[in-house]
Amino acid sequence: MQTLNKLTKRILAICLFALIATVTKAQETTTVVDSSLLNRVSTLEQQASYIKPRESHLMAVGLLTFGYVSNKTTVTYNGTSSVSKSNSLGDADHFEFSPMFLWRHGKKFLMEFEPSFSADGVGVNWAVASYYATPGLILRGGYLVLPFGTYNKRLAAGWINKLASDPEGIADASDFGVEAEGGIQAGTTKWSYDFALSNGMQLQPDGTTQFIGITDNNKNKLFTGRIGFLPLANSSIEVGASLMTGNVGDANLKINSATATLWALDLNVVENITPFQLNIKGQYSEAKVGNATYTDPNDPTHDYTFDNHTKTGYIMAALRPAFSQNDVVKNFELAARYGNYTTPANSLWGTKDNSLAVGLNYWMNWRTVVRFSYEAIKGTSTVSQNLGGNPGEITKSNSAYIQFCIEL
């Protein structure tokens, strides 16, 4: 019994020793790991804090549109026709390489700058600072894409567009100015507004208008505004109405009292009807420049006038089995667009055009697309004979495009 007790005591003593040794050892190891980990964590913290962007954030994105176009144009007048053919790698009318820079300071300020390299050389698409003033109000200033219709500001970019070409007659409208915009919820519907005041356009001696840049040529400013309405709770339909109006006369020239008034209606429908996604987009606009006397460039002693009224519209539909189970099929999209463009009769550029474009797109991802498009445009000249024109002359232009567009 005594031997057993002794043995038990010894075993107990050994166990106790082993336990203490293990605990001490364990504590030692823990302490060692802790301090090295802590050091590494604090170094990482320092490094992270060193590069943490705080309020200031800069990001760069950008887009490329590159393609090939082959064109055949037939001009017919008084029964005789002439044919011309051309093709261009790069597609001179649509090539574009535009990086875009976005700087954000906190959640109140955003600056956007998009320089662009195209067939016209190096230019700037927009350069704007925005201030997110209060909910529902963004104030902007700089070189703006004016809020007239939806094509220029929302749909023109190659990687957004559904066809390789642009609809005819949608003029670029970018100008130096200030802008106020925002979105407002009204029950289950939504409204949006976008108003701008800018330097404006100048009427050219031939009756066309042109944006004039950073120094205004008269005291008036151009007003451009759009109201958008989304009647459905799921935002799938939007209709918009725009107005642009201002004096386009030059204070120093004989055409000094002309006013230009333009209005537009736009429509956007995007419906998911499983497995398809249906897109319908359209815009119709009219531009009217008040009466003015123009100078014949071929004979400067000869003045003439005409009803300076331009109408243009397009309607585009695209269908994509975007929700198909098949990984290849879901990337294809079919698109078609009908366009109409009527420029002032008896002006130097008078024409009545109809166009039809069809296309097949393959979306490599949400912002990269390869597209095949074909467009036929038929134009009937309305240039007056007095100006050396051939009224009734018919121009048929057929173009086939292969285009690659990416945004990164």
Partner 1 sequence: MKPINNKKLTILSILVVVVGSMMILLNSCTASQKISMKSGAQLWAENCQRCHNTPSPSTFSPEQWETIGMHMQSRALLTDTERDKIVDFLKSAN
Place of tokens 């597609």: 91
**Which positions from 98 through 137 interact with ligand HEC, judged by CB under 6 A?**
100
The least CB distance from residue 228 to ligand HEC, in Å, is 9
Q: Give the residue, chosen from 58, 61, 89, 356, that forms a contact with ligand HEC under the rule CB under 6 A.
A: 61
Question: What is the contact mask toward ligand HEC in residues 154 to 173, using x (rule: CB under 6 A)?
Answer: x--x--x-------------
Element (H, E) at 58: strand 56-77
Q: Does 172 bind partner 1 (CB under 8 A)?
A: no
**Residue 188's binding partner out of partner 1, ligand HEC, none, with CB under 5 to 8 Å set by partner kind:** partner 1
Binding residues with ligand HEC: total (CB under 6 A): 6
What residue type is 8 in one-letter code?
T
Specify the residue, 135 or 300, whose C-beta has the smaller distance to partner 1. 135
Nearest 5°: the CA angle 170, 171, 172 is: 120
Binding mask 60-89 for partner 1 (x = CB under 8 A): ------------------------------
Distances 18 to 8, 14, 24, 38, 100 between C-alpha atoms, Å: 15, 6, 10, 30, 68
Q: How far apart are the first and last CA of the chain?
A: 86
Give the nearest distance from C-beta 357 to ligand HEC in angstroms.
20
CB atoms within 10 A of CB 35: 10
Mind giving me the DSSP string for 91-111? -TTT-EEEEEEEEEETTTEEE
Position 253, amino acid: L
Among ligand HEC, partner 1, none, the one that 291 touches (CB under a kind-dependent 5 to 8 A) is none
Q: Are 211 and 178 in contact (CB under 8 A)?
A: no
* Shortest Å distance, C-beta 168 to ligand HEC: 21
* Cα gap 193→180, rounded to integer Å: 8
Contact string (CB under 6 A) for ligand HEC, positions 72-101, x = contact: ----------------------------x-
Contact of residue 363 among partner 1, ligand HEC, none (CB under 5-8 Å per partner type): partner 1
How far is Cα 95 from Cα 170, in angstroms, rounded to an integer?
A: 17
Binding to partner 1 by CB under 8 A, coded x per residue (else -) over 290-319, reads ------------------------------
- In terms of Cβ atoms closer than 10 Å to its own Cβ (0-12, 13-18, 19+), residue 217 is buried
For the bound state, the minimum distance from the C-beta of residue 135 to ligand HEC, rounded and expressed in Å, comes to 16
Binding region for partner 1 (CB under 8 A) out of 12-20, 213-221, 263-271, 292-300: 263-271
- Check: CB of residue 211 under 8 Å from CB of residue 177: no
Residue 300's binding partner out of ligand HEC, partner 1, none, with CB under 5 to 8 Å set by partner kind: none
**Is 408 a residue that touches ligand HEC (CB under 6 A)?**
no
Of partner 1, ligand HEC, none, which one does residue 239 interact with (CB within 5 to 8 Å by kind)? partner 1
Are the beta carbons of 355 and 341 closer than 8 angstroms? yes
- Collapsing DSSP to helix, strand or coil, 383 comes out as coil
* Candidate list 62, 68, 77, 102; residue touching partner 1; CB under 8 A: 102
270 binds partner 1 (CB under 8 A): yes
212 binds partner 1 (CB under 8 A): no
Q: Do 292 and 206 form a contact (C-beta atoms < 8 A)?
A: no
Residue 354 · residue 368 · CB < 8 Å: no
> Rule CB under 8 A: is residue 234 a binding residue for partner 1?
yes
360 is an interface residue for partner 1 by CB under 8 A: no
Residue 226 to residue 265: CA distance in whole angstroms: 9
| Residues in CB range of 99: below 8 A, 6 or more apart | 60, 61, 62, 114, 115
Q: Cβ of 228: how many Cβ atoms within 10 Å?
A: 20
Taking the C-alpha atoms of residue 80 and residue 393, their distance in angstroms, rounded to an integer, is 10
Q: Pick between residue 126 and residue 372 the one whose CB is nearest to ligand HEC.
A: 126
Q: Which residues bind ligand HEC (CB under 6 A)?
A: 61, 100, 154, 157, 160, 407
Q: Which residues bind partner 1 (CB under 8 A)?
A: 53, 57, 59, 102, 104, 107, 110, 112, 130, 132, 135-136, 138, 140, 153-155, 159-160, 181-185, 187-188, 190, 192-194, 228, 231-239, 267-272, 277, 363, 366-367
